[in-house]
Structure 1
Amino acid sequence: MAKTKTPMTLLCGYLGAGKTTLLNQVLSNQKGFKVAVIVNDIGEVNVDAKLIADGAKITDTSSIVPLTNGCICCTLKTQLSQNIENLIKTGKYDYILIEASGVCEPMPIAQELETISNGVLDNVVGVVDAARLVDEFAGGNKLLDKKAIGEEDIESLLVQQIEFCSTLVINKKDLVTEDEFKKVRKVIEVLHPGVKIIETDHGKVDVEEVLATKSFDFEKVYASAGWCKQLEEGEVEDNDDDEDEHHHHDHDDDHDHEHHGHDHHHHEHKHSGDSGADEDEYGIGTFIYYRRVPFNRQKLDEYAAKWPKNIIRCKGLMWFADES
């Protein structure tokens, strides 16, 4: 009798999209599984791991594995698979939830997860921040101009996170207008035609949409990307033109369409082998500030109101003077 493989769900999405909030919602509301969680953070301190433990009221801290100071799509890829195999071998868990860092590309992670013999990738959930697309990426239009997007542009990363998933959650719907949201959804439908889309705010998603869906199929997800569809349509148009002009030529029956294979990397992540791969590619770095005295709440609010534009996100645990 074949041994049952442990299902896994991968959560991907840009910094601040709402992955941790969604994960907490799922963990707090699911009852049918003994879930272990792997949380990735490119910084050396994993704030999200503590937020998950506190938010989901998890008492067994061994069920949360933090992977820090790197990215599970490159520098921490081997550690990811080793930790998953170790969790499964304990026999304590029957589901694994993985939260990637905000700068992770999902395809290399999926490829690594598919090598785990005693696990099966059940779902890849992409989380999109509707408000950020509206405010910083022209409602998503900046993601559609492929000719203007370089490999190292943030737009390239967002496109990959939207294109390579089996479930797409558009979060923070409440922070944009109805027309703005329609525009965001339309952009996503262009980038990933036919993907299952869930509209929400505050990361509220039914557990059944995330766990035990059996929705992930590598070849299907890869081939469903918008750029792949356009490529195929372009090939059809080229063939039609050839027939109209009576340009006959021999075609190799063994021609390999690599864009459907596992070994093809669209927008490949630079696996340079050093710990700064993420920062090198997208220019995203991390800085940790430690302080032993409490913050003045008003002064901190005033500083945050003038936040530099090159700071994408700030998260952490703070102590305020009026709380002491």
Structure 2
Amino acid sequence: ELSNGCICCTLRDDLMQEIEKLVNEGRFDYILIESTGISEPVPVAQTFTYADEESGIDLTSLAKLDCLVTVVDANRFWQDFASGQSLLDRNQATGDEDTRDVVDLLIDQIETCDVLLLNKCDLVEDVELNKLEGIIRKLQPNAKIIRTMNGQVNPSEILNTGLFDFEKASMSAGWIQELEKESHTPETEEYGIGSFVYRRRKPFHPSRLAEFMSYWPEEVVRAKGLVWLAAEGDV
């Protein structure tokens, strides 16, 4: 676990060091990396394509990038993106005074992936799913789209696929733009996204907790955690 940052910027050095350590242990055949929900995929992918001068770590000699996977919440897609028109209208240039928002980040994640998991399909009608998949296909015409429920997918669909094409990826606009940047701007600054961790040992009231977790505020993009429930009669 790499904490207090994102592996595409503030934790990039930590990521390289950990991968080097895992490879040198010689115990693993495959490394699956789960980045944060606000991570940009391009700078993470680029980490595997060059030798870092400061640390001296060359991931190209240690590991091969196999596949980039993006998970899309089919049930929240329109809510997060506001409308299909805003997704397809990609020819509008943004000036220097414009700032990107979470929509741009999520589009980046869709455009860059090799495999896209369209999750929570059981919560969406077939007509809406077909419409949604059509929109996604406009943004990413080459990725393999797999419909899933509860995130269940055959591991062979996302592991050891050989789908990542460096030559093709390195010619994309996003890849070139990232290389031209003097430094990578953390997503917390670029998109105005914040996060916090809540820990407490005092027990929650089960019914009130369940009610609270059923209605997330609109501004909450992603939430996860562990809740330990005491056995009946325990304090």
How does the TM-score come out when normalised to structure 1? 0.61
In structure 2, how many angstroms separate the alpha carbons of the residues matched to 1:285 and 1:119?
32
In structure 2, how many angstroms separate the alpha carbons of the residues matched to 1:90 and 1:199?
36
**2:121 counterpart residue number:** 173
Aligned partner (choices 6, 10, 20) of residue 85 of structure 1: 20
**2:56 counterpart residue number:** none
**1:137 counterpart residue number:** 81
Q: Which has the higher helix share?
A: 1
In structure 2, how many angstroms separate the alpha carbons of the residues matched to 1:104 and 1:307?
22
Aligned partner (choices 95, 116, 135) of residue 30 of structure 2: 95
Q: Is residue 76 of structure 2 the alignment partner of residue 128 of structure 1? A: no
Aligned-pair CA distance for 1:142: 3.0
In structure 2, how many angstroms separate the alpha carbons of the residues matched to 1:212 and 1:306?
38
**1:296 counterpart residue number:** 205
Amino acid of the structure 1 residue aligned with 2:208: K
Q: Is residue 103 of structure 2 the alignment partner of residue 155 of structure 1? A: yes
Local SS of the residue matching 1:97:
coil
Q: Is residue 143 of structure 2 the alignment partner of residue 195 of structure 1? A: yes
Aligned-pair CA distance for 1:154: 0.7
Amino acid of the structure 2 residue aligned with 1:196: K
The answer to whether the 8 A contact 1:156-1:267 is kept is no
Aligned length: 220
Local SS of the residue matching 1:108:
helix
Aligned-pair CA distance for 1:133: 0.5
In structure 2, how many angstroms separate the alpha carbons of the residues matched to 1:180 and 1:221?
30
Q: Which has the higher strand share?
A: 1
- Give ranges in structure 2 of 5+ residues lacking alignment: 51-58
Deviations 1:224-283 (A, max 9, x none): xxxx7xxxxxxxxxxxxxxxxxxxxxxxxxxxxxx49x54339979724xxxx2221111
**2:43 counterpart residue number:** 108
Q: Is residue 182 of structure 2 the alignment partner of residue 182 of structure 1? A: no
The answer to whether the 8 A contact 1:164-1:222 is kept is no
Local SS of the residue matching 2:71:
strand
The aligned runs of 1:1-324 (5 Å cut-off) are 66-115=1-50, 116=59, 117-138=61-82, 140-146=84-90, 147=92, 151-221=99-169, 259=173, 263-265=176-178, 271-272=184-185, 277-320=186-229, 323=232, 324=234
- Give ranges in structure 1 of 5+ residues lacking alignment: 1-65, 229-258
Please say which structure displays the higher CA radius of gyration. Answer: 1
Amino acid of the structure 2 residue aligned with 1:311: V
Local SS of the residue matching 2:2:
strand
The answer to whether the 8 A contact 1:126-1:165 is kept is yes
* RMSD, matched Cα: 2.7
In structure 2, how many angstroms separate the alpha carbons of the residues matched to 1:269 and 1:291?
41
Amino acid of the structure 2 residue aligned with 1:309: E
In structure 2, how many angstroms separate the alpha carbons of the residues matched to 1:74 and 1:293?
35
Runs of 4+ off more than 6 Å: 266-270
